[in-house]
Amino acid sequence: MISVVIPLFNKAPHIVRAVESVLEQSSPADEIIVVDDGSTDGGGELLLPYVAKHGVRLIRQENAGVSVARNHGVNLAASDYVAFLDADDFWLPNHIATLRRLIDNYPEASLFSTALIIERDGRQWRSKSTYSDGWEGVVQDFFTEYLRRFALVSSTTSCVRKKDFCSIGGFPVGVKYGEDFICWMKMALFYRVAHAEVVTAVYCLDAVNRTDQLQETDVLAPLQFIAKLLQSNELDNAQRVGLAQLFDHISFSTGARFRINSNLNGVNAIRNLSWEMGHYRVSLLMSALRFTPSLLLQAAKRFRYRQVSVV
């Protein structure tokens, strides 16, 4: 059984499309739960016909953040497995069928993911992958694979075994940016991850309320999480190497976003954390970013996504 959890906060222009994409699955979901996290744009009201006709569960709560909303939905879910979908994205009809196949074929895994298409300004593309189209299996070196591509696991393509998700504490409450990243890292530390290189979802960068205007206090949470892990004795050598590389990659790409948005405080925060971690090369790169032209960094950002046009 697979329950679907969709957190909703001021996504009225997109939420109906998201819910309808779940209802149009070739392999139906066993349950659809939408957690309205205190929306003020009437998005919840748009779902009332779907509540009446299709049995969608609409849960309302005071605004507490996306982590609380997702965790609330998981706690209410009746199924052993829970698939996540962001309210501004949507699934292709094969998504749940692909997840069911992964669950059946790789019972040792507790986190499952598929490939997605990125959509912006009427264009669609895929990030490059080390896996061939149609490949599926258990990810052997999760942290290294996560580094090599955009969205190996995302909050729109992921599915978790409920009991194991709850055992790691779910999504971290109070984290405004990278809460899903922290959750996937925790799951991968303790459980196996199965992936299908099959496109089953669309990630919409044009959606309302998606922004690059990050604050330094927001982005430090995932980097501090990695830093804490690297300072612990919980990692084997492969995990340590992969996480160290991931720390450097995220530090640089996020520092570039800060510089593009003229947020030098954010650049400085990453520089200082990198220095404390002994990642001196990254710290020096952060210093250099302060004087790097924004146009050059925008080109670097496009390279980071490794865009490949979809025919």
pLDDT of residue 176: 84
Is 192 found in the same domain as 129? yes
pLDDT-wise least confident of 87-91, 125-129, 307-311: 307-311
pLDDT of residue 210: 59
Q: 255 in a domain, yes or no?
A: yes
Choose the final residue of a domain: 204, 233, 248: 204
**Over 80: is that where the pLDDT of 309 sits?**
no
* Selected residue with higher pLDDT from 293 and 202: 202
Is 230 found in the same domain as 188? no
**Over 60: is that where the pLDDT of 109 sits?**
yes
pLDDT of residue 289: 87
Is 148 found in the same domain as 224? no
Q: 211 in a domain, yes or no?
A: no
Q: 281 in a domain, yes or no?
A: yes
Q: What value does the mean pLDDT of the chain take?
A: 91
Q: 63 in a domain, yes or no?
A: yes
Choose the final residue of a domain: 184, 204, 224: 204
Alpha carbon distance 176, 258 (integer Å): 16
Q: 273 in a domain, yes or no?
A: yes
- Dihedral angle at the C-alpha atoms of 61, 64, 66, 70, nearest 10 degrees? -50
Is 142 found in the same domain as 254? no
Q: 209 in a domain, yes or no?
A: no
* Selected residue with higher pLDDT from 208 and 72: 72
Question: Taking Cα atoms as reference points, which of 64, 120, 61 lies closest to residue 89?
Answer: 120
Report residue 219 as tokens: 């982005």
Choose the final residue of a domain: 147, 170, 204: 204
| Residue/partner pairs of 239-243 with CB below 8 Å, 24 or more apart | 239/143, 239/189, 241/144, 242/141, 242/142, 242/143, 242/144, 242/146, 242/147, 243/143, 243/185
Alpha carbon distance 64, 56 (integer Å): 22
The average pLDDT across 69-78 equals 99
Report residue 246 as tokens: 């991931």
Tell me the whole-structure pTM to 2 decimals: 0.91
Give per-residue pLDDT as tens, 179-197. Answer: 999 999 999 999 999 999 9
Give per-residue pLDDT as tens, 268-305. Answer: 999 999 999 999 999 999 999 888 887 767 766 665 55
Is 167 found in the same domain as 39? yes
Is 224 found in the same domain as 157? no
**Over 50: is that where the pLDDT of 311 sits?**
no
Q: 12 in a domain, yes or no?
A: yes
Is 98 found in the same domain as 21? yes
111: CATH = 3.90.550.10
**Over 60: is that where the pLDDT of 164 sits?**
yes
pLDDT of residue 254: 86
Is 190 found in the same domain as 92? yes
pLDDT of residue 50: 98
Give per-residue pLDDT as tens, 208-255. Answer: 665 555 555 566 789 999 999 999 888 899 899 999 999 998 898 888
pLDDT of residue 212: 52
Q: 187 in a domain, yes or no?
A: yes
Triad 30, 22, 149: Cα angle to 5°: 110
3-state class (DSSP) for residue 234: coil
Domain count, the chain: 2
Is 168 found in the same domain as 70? yes
Is 189 found in the same domain as 101? yes
Domain extent at residue 123 = 2-204
pLDDT of residue 307: 47
Is 167 found in the same domain as 20? yes
